[in-house]
Amino acid sequence: MELSLVEITKIEEVGLGDRVCIDTDTELKLGEGMLIGSLSRGMFLVHSETVENPYVETRPFRVNAGPVSAYVLVPGGKTRYLVELKGGDPVIAVDSNGKEREVKVVRSKIETRPFLLVEAKLGEVEFHSFLQNAETIRLVTEDGKAVSVVNLKPGDKVLALVDKEGMGRHFGMAVEETIIEK
Protein backbone atom coordinates (compact mmCIF):
# COMPACT_ATOMS: atom_id res chain seq x y z
CA MET A 1 0.00 0.00 0.00
CA GLU A 2 1.33 3.41 -0.90
CA LEU A 3 1.09 5.84 1.99
CA SER A 4 1.79 9.54 1.50
CA LEU A 5 3.38 12.13 3.74
CA VAL A 6 0.73 14.82 4.25
CA GLU A 7 1.03 18.23 5.88
CA ILE A 8 -1.15 19.17 8.84
CA THR A 9 -2.86 22.49 8.06
CA LYS A 10 -5.22 22.98 10.99
CA ILE A 11 -6.09 21.55 14.40
CA GLU A 12 -9.16 22.71 16.28
CA GLU A 13 -11.12 21.54 19.33
CA VAL A 14 -14.67 20.69 18.28
CA GLY A 15 -16.37 19.39 21.43
CA LEU A 16 -17.84 16.04 22.40
CA GLY A 17 -18.91 13.21 20.13
CA ASP A 18 -19.24 9.44 20.02
CA ARG A 19 -15.82 7.81 19.54
CA VAL A 20 -15.24 4.22 18.41
CA CYS A 21 -12.27 2.17 19.55
CA ILE A 22 -11.54 -1.06 17.72
CA ASP A 23 -10.20 -4.03 19.69
CA THR A 24 -8.62 -6.74 17.52
CA ASP A 25 -7.80 -10.44 17.78
CA THR A 26 -4.06 -9.81 17.63
CA GLU A 27 -1.41 -7.48 18.99
CA LEU A 28 -0.46 -4.57 16.81
CA LYS A 29 3.14 -3.39 16.63
CA LEU A 30 4.85 -0.05 17.10
CA GLY A 31 4.35 1.97 13.90
CA GLU A 32 1.18 0.04 13.05
CA GLY A 33 -2.42 1.15 13.14
CA MET A 34 -5.48 1.60 10.94
CA LEU A 35 -6.43 4.02 8.20
CA ILE A 36 -9.20 6.27 9.47
CA GLY A 37 -10.83 9.31 7.86
CA SER A 38 -13.89 11.53 7.96
CA LEU A 39 -13.61 11.93 4.16
CA SER A 40 -13.00 9.05 1.79
CA ARG A 41 -10.26 10.88 -0.17
CA GLY A 42 -7.84 10.91 2.76
CA MET A 43 -7.40 8.62 5.74
CA PHE A 44 -4.80 9.13 8.48
CA LEU A 45 -2.71 6.25 9.78
CA VAL A 46 -3.99 6.23 13.37
CA HIS A 47 -1.50 4.43 15.61
CA SER A 48 -2.40 1.52 17.86
CA GLU A 49 -2.25 1.94 21.63
CA THR A 50 1.19 0.32 21.85
CA VAL A 51 3.11 3.38 23.11
CA GLU A 52 3.96 3.58 26.82
CA ASN A 53 2.46 6.64 28.49
CA PRO A 54 1.78 7.93 32.02
CA TYR A 55 -2.02 7.90 31.61
CA VAL A 56 -3.14 4.31 30.91
CA GLU A 57 -1.67 0.87 30.36
CA THR A 58 -0.87 0.02 26.75
CA ARG A 59 -3.50 -1.91 24.85
CA PRO A 60 -1.61 -3.25 21.84
CA PHE A 61 -4.77 -4.83 20.46
CA ARG A 62 -6.60 -1.45 20.20
CA VAL A 63 -6.89 1.48 17.82
CA ASN A 64 -8.76 4.44 19.26
CA ALA A 65 -10.17 5.20 15.85
CA GLY A 66 -12.51 8.15 15.57
CA PRO A 67 -16.16 9.21 15.40
CA VAL A 68 -18.96 6.81 14.54
CA SER A 69 -19.28 8.28 11.02
CA ALA A 70 -15.59 7.93 10.08
CA TYR A 71 -14.33 5.45 7.52
CA VAL A 72 -11.91 2.59 8.16
CA LEU A 73 -10.12 0.60 5.47
CA VAL A 74 -11.22 -3.03 5.18
CA PRO A 75 -10.11 -5.88 2.87
CA GLY A 76 -10.54 -5.43 -0.85
CA GLY A 77 -9.66 -1.73 -0.76
CA LYS A 78 -13.11 -0.93 0.58
CA THR A 79 -14.17 1.25 3.50
CA ARG A 80 -16.78 0.84 6.20
CA TYR A 81 -18.18 3.24 8.75
CA LEU A 82 -16.73 2.70 12.22
CA VAL A 83 -20.23 2.41 13.72
CA GLU A 84 -20.91 -0.66 11.52
CA LEU A 85 -18.04 -2.76 12.89
CA LYS A 86 -18.81 -5.73 15.12
CA GLY A 87 -17.05 -8.85 16.40
CA GLY A 88 -15.71 -11.03 13.59
CA ASP A 89 -15.49 -8.27 10.97
CA PRO A 90 -12.16 -7.99 9.11
CA VAL A 91 -10.24 -4.69 9.03
CA ILE A 92 -6.81 -3.78 7.68
CA ALA A 93 -3.86 -3.03 9.95
CA VAL A 94 -1.09 -1.04 8.23
CA ASP A 95 2.44 -0.11 9.27
CA SER A 96 4.46 2.98 8.36
CA ASN A 97 5.98 1.17 5.35
CA GLY A 98 2.56 0.42 3.89
CA LYS A 99 2.68 -3.26 4.81
CA GLU A 100 -0.86 -4.38 5.46
CA ARG A 101 -2.47 -7.37 7.10
CA GLU A 102 -5.99 -8.43 7.87
CA VAL A 103 -7.05 -8.54 11.53
CA LYS A 104 -10.44 -9.34 13.03
CA VAL A 105 -12.53 -7.06 15.21
CA VAL A 106 -13.20 -8.64 18.59
CA ARG A 107 -15.30 -5.73 19.79
CA SER A 108 -15.93 -2.12 18.95
CA LYS A 109 -16.67 0.23 21.81
CA ILE A 110 -18.47 3.56 21.51
CA GLU A 111 -17.99 6.21 24.19
CA THR A 112 -18.54 9.97 24.36
CA ARG A 113 -15.19 11.80 24.17
CA PRO A 114 -13.82 15.23 23.20
CA PHE A 115 -12.70 15.60 19.59
CA LEU A 116 -10.16 17.53 17.56
CA LEU A 117 -10.67 18.42 13.91
CA VAL A 118 -7.38 17.61 12.16
CA GLU A 119 -7.01 18.96 8.61
CA ALA A 120 -4.27 18.02 6.15
CA LYS A 121 -3.29 18.35 2.52
CA LEU A 122 -1.18 16.69 -0.13
CA GLY A 123 -0.79 18.94 -3.15
CA GLU A 124 -4.30 20.05 -4.08
CA VAL A 125 -6.04 17.29 -2.12
CA GLU A 126 -7.36 18.49 1.24
CA PHE A 127 -9.06 16.28 3.80
CA HIS A 128 -9.81 16.05 7.50
CA SER A 129 -10.79 13.74 10.28
CA PHE A 130 -12.15 14.05 13.77
CA LEU A 131 -9.87 12.33 16.29
CA GLN A 132 -10.23 11.99 20.03
CA ASN A 133 -8.54 14.85 21.89
CA ALA A 134 -6.25 12.82 24.16
CA GLU A 135 -2.51 12.37 24.68
CA THR A 136 -2.81 8.66 23.87
CA ILE A 137 -4.25 9.20 20.37
CA ARG A 138 -1.40 9.24 17.88
CA LEU A 139 -0.68 9.57 14.18
CA VAL A 140 2.40 8.14 12.47
CA THR A 141 5.38 10.05 11.08
CA GLU A 142 7.46 9.09 8.04
CA ASP A 143 10.01 7.30 10.24
CA GLY A 144 7.30 5.18 11.88
CA LYS A 145 7.18 7.12 15.14
CA ALA A 146 3.90 7.88 16.85
CA VAL A 147 3.07 11.53 17.56
CA SER A 148 0.23 12.48 19.90
CA VAL A 149 -2.56 14.54 18.35
CA VAL A 150 -2.29 17.01 21.25
CA ASN A 151 1.28 17.79 20.12
CA LEU A 152 0.45 18.24 16.41
CA LYS A 153 0.74 21.67 14.86
CA PRO A 154 0.30 23.08 11.37
CA GLY A 155 3.30 22.20 9.22
CA ASP A 156 3.86 18.78 10.85
CA LYS A 157 3.88 15.82 8.47
CA VAL A 158 2.20 12.46 9.04
CA LEU A 159 1.30 9.40 6.99
CA ALA A 160 -2.05 8.96 5.26
CA LEU A 161 -3.69 7.12 2.41
CA VAL A 162 -4.75 9.71 -0.17
CA ASP A 163 -6.98 8.81 -3.11
CA LYS A 164 -5.99 10.31 -6.44
CA GLU A 165 -7.99 13.26 -7.68
CA GLY A 166 -11.21 12.30 -9.44
CA MET A 167 -11.74 9.26 -7.20
CA GLY A 168 -14.54 8.86 -4.74
CA ARG A 169 -16.24 6.08 -2.83
CA HIS A 170 -19.71 4.70 -3.24
CA PHE A 171 -20.90 2.06 -0.77
CA GLY A 172 -17.27 1.78 0.38
CA MET A 173 -15.84 0.98 -3.05
CA ALA A 174 -13.45 3.30 -4.92
CA VAL A 175 -15.02 4.73 -8.06
CA GLU A 176 -13.93 7.22 -10.70
CA GLU A 177 -16.68 9.73 -10.23
CA THR A 178 -17.16 13.28 -9.10
CA ILE A 179 -18.15 13.07 -5.45
CA ILE A 180 -18.03 16.20 -3.33
CA GLU A 181 -17.39 15.76 0.40
CA LYS A 182 -16.86 18.75 2.68
64-118 residue pLDDT tens: 999 999 999 999 989 999 999 999 999 999 999 999 999 999 999 999 999 999 9
For 4-176, give the CATH class: mainly beta
DSSP codes, 93-127: EEETT--EEEEEEEEEEEEEEEEEEEEEEETTEEE
Of the candidates 156, 163, 159, which has an alpha carbon nearest to the alpha carbon of residue 11?
156
pLDDT in tens, 135-153: 999 999 999 999 999 999 9
Going by C-alpha positions, the residue among 118, 144, 147 that lies closest to residue 132 is 118
Domain coordinates in residue numbering, the chain: 4-176
Q: Residues 18-43: pLDDT tens digits?
A: 999 999 999 999 999 999 999 878 99
CA 17 to each of CA 14, 38, 70, 117: distance values in angstroms, whole numbers, following the listed order: 9, 13, 12, 12
pTM score of the predicted model: 0.89
